[in-house]
Amino acid sequence: MDGTRAFVDRLISWSPVLLLGCLAALTYWLDAQVQQGPAHRDGSSRHDPDLFLADFRAINFDADGKPIESLSAVRGDHFPDDDSVALTKPNFKMTQPGKPAFSIDADRGTVSGDRENVYFNGNVRAHREADSGTAAPDHDPSGPITLETDYLHVVPKTEHAETDRAVTIREPRGIIQGVGLELDNKSKTAKLRSRVSGTFQPQTIKK
């Protein structure tokens, strides 16, 4: 039971911080990419795109010129009626020095016009690479962790994410599954709502 509890605690500790952190950066990028002027009253109130980007990739560099964030998508459509942005096959990556690489991708993504909400739909997959940094003598570096679901709603300002769909969390020692998930970065908590199950295999401690 102690091992299982530790496993769950580790999943809780990485998910809100990395997932919500990268999505906050994602909305900042989209806001910078789509800067709109005053609304037009010429029929643009229909929910039709007024501009799009195809096979685009945006990269954010640190002070030393090293890439730390990238956003790519097969297509991005901007809708003037509500100022929303729809993404096809979005992929977001974070490669910050000293931290495990992190990525999130999905079939589709939507950023609300007020940039307050991000919705990912279809084969949503958030993945954090193994932590290869120096660990304490009694603690092994954490392995890769993947969160899979079909829908994820993120509110970057409040650092909150949730889904009412099935969720699967995988790491080298086991799998946890459930239906419905709430992540709160501010309180560092994660809650699976129902049908929680999983498998856990303790690893042999190296001497």
The pTM score is 0.71
> What does the alpha-carbon distance between residue 75 and residue 73 come to, in Å, rounded to a whole number?
5
Q: CA 40, CA 190: separation in Å to the nearest integer?
A: 43
Tell me: pLDDT of 17 over 70.
Answer: no
For the domain 2-33+52-200, what is the CATH superfamily, name and number?
A: Lipopolysaccharide (LPS) transport protein A like domain (2.60.450.10)
Computed over every residue of the chain, the mean pLDDT equals: 76
Q: Domain residue spans in the chain? A: 2-33+52-200
**For 23-47, what is the mean pLDDT?**
60
Q: Under a CB-based contact definition with an 8 Å cutoff, are residues 107 and 123 in contact?
A: yes
In the numeric block, which tokens belong to residue 14?
Answer: 């990485």
pLDDT tens for residues 66-95?
888 788 899 989 898 888 889 999 888 878
Q: What is the pLDDT of residues 120-175, one digit of tens each?
A: 999 999 888 887 654 444 444 567 888 899 998 988 778 788 999 999 988 888 88
Query: Once rounded to an integer, what is the mean pLDDT over residues 37-44?
Result: 54
Which positions ≥6 away from 1 have C-beta within 8 Å?
none
